[in-house]
């Protein structure tokens, strides 16, 4: 198991921390596997009442590791099984998901938040989904969840035009519940998680299931997006974008 994701259970709360700060928490296959296992494990562990997602100071998550995207493109592949396992685990997770976001939330760093039930962001949080600029398409059922949350035009500006959102912008479209100072963002998220964990668990699960709708719908959209994603990864547009990213410091 990778050390780049730290999983700790504390008082009914599973804290899942992405921990690759030197790469701004860009996610590798091993990290997706660890996070998928942590989420899936909550199905059989009744003691876990709530899951909290956290990152590093200043970097919640910089999205998928672009080197792995570049490699997948070279191998003629799409989103790998690890990514898809994680996205499906998000869709099928029954426990409430709380997130503490400080700093960068890019690509899947933002789209995973669409699956969360309560999000606390620091005033320094920046949400960006640069998929289309990279020659790709949005993933994680964001093409379903984002228009549902914020309406199709704002979803287009975010997912297609790649317009970034600051914490206040994200709060205004309903992506974020509360804004805190960077030093307090995790404390506030943990307080929300504790509040949820203290509620009658079966009533929470039943209510959440009705609010979210059927996970199969999300899973189908994840798979549809993945089909387009595979095609796009092979495209000259995507390959040029990856080459430009890795050439930027040379
Ligand atoms: N994949 C792979 N490596 C990444 C990465 C990613 N998504 N995001 C950051 N990194 C790496 C950088 O290559 C760099 O590695 P190095 O020190 O070995 O050169 C390190 O993380 C720090 O990033 P750097 O670009 O130097 O920091 P910055 O503060 O100037 O910029 C970002 C940070 C996140 C804005 C910038 O790295 C970026 O745009 N990353 C790509 C984000 C992205 O497009 N994600 C995919 C969305 S689908």
Vertex 39 angle, CA 80 and 101, to 5°: 90
Nearest Cα residue to atom 27 of ligand 1: 24
* CA pair distance 231, 75, nearest whole angstrom: 12
Backbone angles phi, psi at 179, to 5 degrees: -115, 135
pLDDT of residue 250: 59
pLDDT of residue 2: 82
Neighbours of 249 (CB within 10 A): 5
User: What sign results for the dihedral spanned by CA atoms 87, 213, 6, 65?
Assistant: positive
pLDDT of residue 248: 86
Using a 6 Å cutoff on CB, does residue 70 contact ligand 1?
no
Nearest Cα residue to atom 23 of ligand 1: 23
pLDDT of residue 114: 98
Question: If the chain, 250 residues long, is cut into consecutive pieces of 10 residues, what is the mean pLDDT of each piece?
Answer: 92 97 98 98 96 98 96 92 98 98 98 98 98 97 98 98 98 98 98 98 97 97 97 94 86
Using a 6 Å cutoff on CB, does residue 67 contact ligand 1?
yes
Question: Which CA distances in Å does 87 have to 40, 205, 242?
Answer: 11, 20, 23
- What does pTM read for this prediction? 0.97
Nearest Cα residue to atom 18 of ligand 1: 23
Domains and CATH numbers, the chain: 5-183 (3.90.226.10)
Burial of 131 (C-beta count, 10 Å sphere; 0-12/13-18/19+)? buried
- Interval between CA 59 and ligand 1 midpoint (Å): 10
Using a 6 Å cutoff on CB, does residue 68 contact ligand 1?
no
pLDDT of residue 236: 94
pLDDT of residue 206: 97
- Interval between CA 122 and ligand 1 midpoint (Å): 20
- Interval between CA 208 and ligand 1 midpoint (Å): 35
- Interval between CA 55 and ligand 1 midpoint (Å): 15
Nearest to 39 by CA among 104, 79, 88, 103: 88
pLDDT of residue 231: 95
Please give the order of strands across the beta sheet that includes 118-122. Answer: 5-10, 13-18, 50-54, 97-101, 118-122, 178-180
Reading the block at residue 163, the tokens are: 């317009």
């Amino acid at each position: 198991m990778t050390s780049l994701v730290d999983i700790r259970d504390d008082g009914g709360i599973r804290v899942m921390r992405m921990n690759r700060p030197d790469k701004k928490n860009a996610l590798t296959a091993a990290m997706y596997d660890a996070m998928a296992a942590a989420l899936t494990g909550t199905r059989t562990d009744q003691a876990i009442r709530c899951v909290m997602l956290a990152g590093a100071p200043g970097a919640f998550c910089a999205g998928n590791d672009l080197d792995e995207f570049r490699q997948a493109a070279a191998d003629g592949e799409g989103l790998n099984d690890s990514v898809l396992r994680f996205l499906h685990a998000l869709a099928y997770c029954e426990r409430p998901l709380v997130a503490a976001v400080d700093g960068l939330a890019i690509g899947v760093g933002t789209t995973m938040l669409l699956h969360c039930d309560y999000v606390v962001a620091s005033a320094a949080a920046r949400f960006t989904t640069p998929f289309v600029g990279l020659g790709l398409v949005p993933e994680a059922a964001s093409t379903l969840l984002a228009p549902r949350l914020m309406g199709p035009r704002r979803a287009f500006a975010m997912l297609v035009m790649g317009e970034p959102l600051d914490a206040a912008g994200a709060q205004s479209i309903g992506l974020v519940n509360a804004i805190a100072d960077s030093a307090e963002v995790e404390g506030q998220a943990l307080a929300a998680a504790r509040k949820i964990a203290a509620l009658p668990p079966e009533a929470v699960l039943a209510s959440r299931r009705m609010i979210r709708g059927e996970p199969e719908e999300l899973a189908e959209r994840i798979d549809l997006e993945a089909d387009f994603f595979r095609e796009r990864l092979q495209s000259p547009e995507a390959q040029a974008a990856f080459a430009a990213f890795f050439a930027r410091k040379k």
